[in-house]
């Protein structure tokens, strides 16, 4: 990391009920052109203009399905599960430089198609481990405008985040588990990293090296359906760093059930290897219609039981897997390949993870606590038996 020898004003000050962040405008990443005001997605607020210039909307046939973050003019990072049911990249685009979920009429926003999908080779669509993917755009974004910047990656020498730090999540997802309509404007919310030993987190995550929990233990603030793939950021070293990728959770903003995020610091080497490899080989790679590459580190991921889309409120968590709409396209000569688990593995995962469910488009996983799946039904059956016996 280079250190710039400039005097600049860097501060975090309290103003009313909000916090103003002013970053290092000389930094090459993680700093938008305007101050960022955060006062309190679910329990959140409208984002300020150009506050999060790296946030993008991932779209299928022009419809928002997930979020993502700009890493460079040609690369976007998002969640792998956003592509669970997408077999053709032809209709997949990203919208950058827009506060609105729709392209701006004044030409300030930019739309790009996706030339290549790099899904983590060890992504497991049933456990959501290694839930990340990189997208190479068909043509680079014009980064000369203040409304389009890149986010900083954290160091890979320390696992981030540590417990109990404030972070900001942004996205166009729904603002309630009861809603199926995404937000028309970018929203932001402040959450805290939560220890993996906390019971509500321990019940949800599969591997604390690869995932972490964030939210508010008392509930009320969370990411939700449609926010999947979007950034969870911390203000560190006077810039915004990408600590997490919105992945999944149990419904939205419930007390005791934080959201689950992919831990970006674990994957820095993987991310950089893809970006550098692609830059070296781009000129020699043939242009197939839907090229897909799986690049590894080792890992695997929540048990999958297919259900209908998110409208089935009781079985989907509006937590972190935020793909609000079913992104299905026709079959392709070059389908995106995903790994599957054997039935024996699925049964093991069900036993180990209780009951996890994910909607067809991979929006959000739901995990039902044992109280609802075992204790309550057992007590109800016992009560019925006693009533019949006494009568």
Please report the pLDDT score of residue 35 as a whole number. Answer: 67
Does 108 have pLDDT greater than 90? Answer: no
Q: Residue 24 — pLDDT band, cuts 50, 70, 90?
A: confident
Q: Is 145 a catalytic residue?
A: no
Please report the pLDDT score of residue 41 as a whole number. Answer: 63
Please report the pLDDT score of residue 44 as a whole number. Answer: 78
Q: Indicate the SS3 state at residue 78.
A: strand
Does 5 have pLDDT greater than 50? Answer: no
The pTM score is 0.72
Q: Rounded CA gap, 375 and 70, in Å? A: 45
Q: What is the pLDDT of residues 143-174, one digit of tens each?
A: 987 789 999 999 998 999 999 999 999 999 99
Does 314 have pLDDT greater than 60? Answer: no
73: nearest Cα among 152, 142, 1: 142
Please report the pLDDT score of residue 382 as a whole number. Answer: 62
Q: Residue 364 — pLDDT band, cuts 50, 70, 90?
A: very low
Say if CB 328 and CB 252 are below 8 A apart: no
The first and second tokens of residue 89, run together, are: 């990249």
Q: Is 138 a catalytic residue?
A: no
Q: Residue 36 — pLDDT band, cuts 50, 70, 90?
A: confident
Q: Indicate the SS3 state at residue 287.
A: coil
Q: State the catalytic residue, choosing from 57, 69, 74, 81.
A: 81
The first and second tokens of residue 179, run together, are: 């809603």
Q: What is the pLDDT of residues 268-284, one digit of tens each?
A: 999 999 998 766 544 33
Say if CB 341 and CB 349 are below 8 A apart: yes
Q: Calculate the alpha carbon distances from 221 to 101, 174, 184, 188, 258 in Å.
A: 21, 12, 19, 10, 9
Q: Residue 43 — pLDDT band, cuts 50, 70, 90?
A: confident
Q: Is 131 a catalytic residue?
A: yes
The first and second tokens of residue 188, run together, are: 């932001």
Domains and CATH numbers, the chain: 37-371 (2.40.10.10)
More confident residue, 71 or 24: 71
Mean pLDDT of 179-184: 91
Cis peptide before 161 (omega within 30 of 0): yes
297: nearest Cα among 257, 256, 334, 266: 266
Q: Residue 25 — pLDDT band, cuts 50, 70, 90?
A: confident
Q: Rounded CA gap, 94 and 157, in Å? A: 31
Strand partners, 116: 136
Does 120 have pLDDT greater than 80? Answer: yes
Q: State the catalytic residue, choosing from 131, 222, 227, 278.
A: 131
Q: What is the pLDDT of residues 208-266, one digit of tens each?
A: 999 999 999 999 999 999 999 999 999 999 999 999 999 999 999 999 999 999 999 99
Q: State the catalytic residue, choosing from 32, 51, 126, 228.
A: 228
Q: Residues 6 or more apart from 20 whose CB is under 8 A from it?
A: 11, 12, 13, 35, 36, 37
How many Cα atoms are found within 13 Å in the side-chain-facing hemisphere of 74? 15
Mean pLDDT (the chain, rounded): 74
Please report the pLDDT score of residue 279 as a whole number. Answer: 60
Q: Lowest mean pLDDT of 90-104, 153-167, 288-302, name the range.
A: 288-302
Say if CB 202 and CB 257 are below 8 A apart: no
> Which string of DSSP letters, residue by residue, matches 344-376?
HHHHHHHHHH-EEEEETT---EEEE-HIIIIIH
């Amino acid at each position: 990391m280079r250190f710039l020898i400039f005097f600049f004003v860097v501060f975090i000050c309290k103003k009313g009920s909000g916090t103003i962040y002013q970053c290092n405008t000389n930094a090459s990443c993680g700093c938008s052109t305007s101050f960022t005001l955060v006062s309190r997605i679910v329990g959140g607020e409208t984002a300020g203009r150009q506050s999060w210039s790296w946030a993008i909307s991932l779209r299928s046939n022009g419809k928002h399905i997930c979020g993502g973050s700009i890493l460079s003019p040609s690369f976007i990072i998002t969640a792998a599960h956003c592509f669970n049911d997408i077999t053709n990249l032809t209709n997949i685009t990203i919208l950058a430089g827009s506060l609105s979920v729709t392209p701006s009429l004044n030409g300030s926003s930019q739309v790009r198609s996706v030339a290549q999908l790099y899904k983590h080779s060890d992504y497991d669509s049933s456990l959501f481990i290694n839930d990340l993917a990189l997208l190479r755009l068909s043509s680079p974004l014009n980064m000369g405008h203040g409304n389009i910047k890149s986010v900083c990656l954290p160091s890979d020498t320390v696992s981030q985040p540590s417990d109990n730090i404030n972070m900001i999540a942004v996205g166009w997802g729904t603002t309630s588990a009861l809603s199926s309509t995404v937000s028309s404007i970018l929203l932001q919310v402040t959450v805290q990293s939560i220890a993996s030993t906390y019971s509500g987190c321990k019940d949800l995550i599969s591997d604390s090296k690869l995932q972490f929990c964030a939210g508010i233990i008392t509930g009320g603030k969370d990411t939700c359906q449609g926010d999947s793939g979007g950034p969870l950021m911390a203000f560190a070293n006077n810039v915004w760093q990408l600590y997490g990728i919105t992945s999944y959770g149990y419904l939205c903003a419930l007390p005791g059930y934080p959201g689950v995020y992919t831990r970006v610091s674990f994957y820095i080497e993987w991310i950089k290897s893809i970006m550098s490899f692609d830059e070296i080989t781009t000129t020699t790679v043939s242009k197939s219609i839907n090229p897909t590459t799986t690049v590894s580190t080792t890992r695997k991921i929540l048990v999958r039981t297919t259900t209908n889309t998110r409208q089935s409120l009781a079985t989907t968590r509006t937590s972190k897997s935020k793909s609000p709409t079913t992104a299905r396209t026709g079959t392709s000569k070059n389908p995106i390949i995903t790994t599957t688990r054997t039935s024996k593995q699925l049964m093991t995962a069900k036993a180990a993870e209780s009951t996890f469910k994910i909607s067809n488009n991979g929006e959000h996983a739901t995990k039902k606590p044992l109280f609802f799946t075992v204790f309550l039904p057992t007590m109800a059956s016992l009560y019925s038996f006693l009533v019949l016996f006494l009568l």
